Structure 1
Amino acid sequence: MSKTLLVYLHGFRSSPRSSKAVMTGEGINAISTLDNPIQWYCPQLLASPKESMAMVEKQIQESGADQMVVVGSSLGGFYANYLAEKYNCKAVLLNPAVRAARELAPHVGMMTAYDSDEPFDFRSEYIDELKALQVEKITNPSRYFLIAAKGDELLDWQEMVHFYPGAKHLVLDGSDHGIADYADHLPRVLEFISTQP
């Protein structure tokens, strides 16, 4: 019996309470079986990219899983690239920020989380931490499944597509950065997760 660890990484200023995280978690619970158990791990990421990855990697090492799949949305997709390359595992990217340091440089400073009034201090040194985690080129395209929305109001869907040459792509004609119609595409995400590599 093999055990799979499913790591879901939310976006910038988001949380495990985001609609995509909740829907994915419910979907994973539905396909997890006694014969093929899937352990769900969806942490509240920290402001510091370095500390976030240290926390996630500690969980990976302690999980005892035989294999891992990472699902990442926006900034979480950037982190998913790093983890997929380091651990040689599959990754699902939901409108990923493939160049997170560039995208987030204008957002340094104090702000709040999206779904709460919690203060969120995004410091300038975190940009350097993002640069240190940057994947320049993916090594095994068959491990990656990209969902990119042409209607993304924050990130360039064409840059996403070019970043994952040869990978499985689902390009949405409309939609938005949050992928409002994610429920329609979740079955394909679950299928990719559950298919043996």
Structure 2
Amino acid sequence: MPSTTHLLYLHGFRSSPQSVKARKMAGMVQRQHPHVTWWCPQLPASPRQAMALLQAGAASWPLGRTAIVGSSLGGFYAAWLSRAWGCPAVLLNPAVHPARDLAGYMGEHPAWHDPAQKIFFDPEFVQELQELELHSASSAPNAAPPTLAVIAKGDEVLDWREMLARHEAGQVRLIEGSDHALSDFDLYLPEIFEFLRLA
């Protein structure tokens, strides 16, 4: 795997580039790998719009030197883009069945890092997630690029068994305890950065 020169970070549902994990990774990349291109966009609530934004924003990136990190719903997107682009990905407590899991979240919600900001989750977005899940399921397993899934058994939002079953073909860091937000994220950063092979 060649060294990574372009790194994309994808936050989760109701999250933002201001998440603790995103800010910690951004700081480490800036300090230790200042020549690496870092992009952590605010993702639209619409999965279709989110994918369009990401594919347009990274259109000029060298995919052979690109890597993706994604958390929760962002982990689902990261796994999808990893297969589509053929580049490695780190998946942090990644959603496996987001259409099912988010079907009960229709309507308006406050953003985690700024409750004044509202996110509206439309019923159409569940259909958009279902389409992405179907596309992901039809991808050939032998085409999968390298992945590192960081999975916490203490995740209070997503089932760690589903995450493990989906991503056990790749590299897995299975954590006893912890939580959905990976509050002990610092412990796993060295392993994540080693996997990413940053330039």
TM-score by length of 2: 0.90
Work out whether residues 86 and 145 of structure 2, in 8 Å CA contact, stay in contact via their aligned partners in 1: no
- Residue matched to 1:20: 21
- Residue matched to 2:92: 94
**What CA deviation, in whole Å up to 9, does each residue of 1:41-89 have, x standing for no partner?**
0000011110011011111113456521010000000100110010000
Structure 1: unaligned runs, 5 residues or longer: none
Work out whether residues 14 and 111 of structure 2, in 8 Å CA contact, stay in contact via their aligned partners in 1: yes
Give the aligned CA root-mean-square deviation in angstroms: 2.0
TM-score by length of 1: 0.91
Q: Which residue, out of 170, 186, 189, partners 1:183?
A: 186
Work out whether residues 2 and 65 of structure 1, in 8 Å CA contact, stay in contact via their aligned partners in 2: no
Kindly tell me the number of residue pairs found equivalent between the two proteins.
193
2:103 partner SS: helix
Work out whether residues 3 and 39 of structure 1, in 8 Å CA contact, stay in contact via their aligned partners in 2: no
- Residue matched to 1:172: 175
Which structure's relative contact order is higher, taking Cα pairs within 8 Å and 6+ residues apart? Answer: 2
The alignment status of 1:160 with 2:160, answered yes or no, reads no
- Residue matched to 2:147: 144
2:58 partner SS: helix
Change (3 A) 1:152 1:2: closer
Q: Which amino acid aligns with 1:48?
A: S
Work out whether residues 93 and 158 of structure 2, in 8 Å CA contact, stay in contact via their aligned partners in 1: yes
**What CA deviation, in whole Å up to 9, does each residue of 1:104-158 have, x standing for no partner?**
1111111111111211110000001111212226545561000000000000011
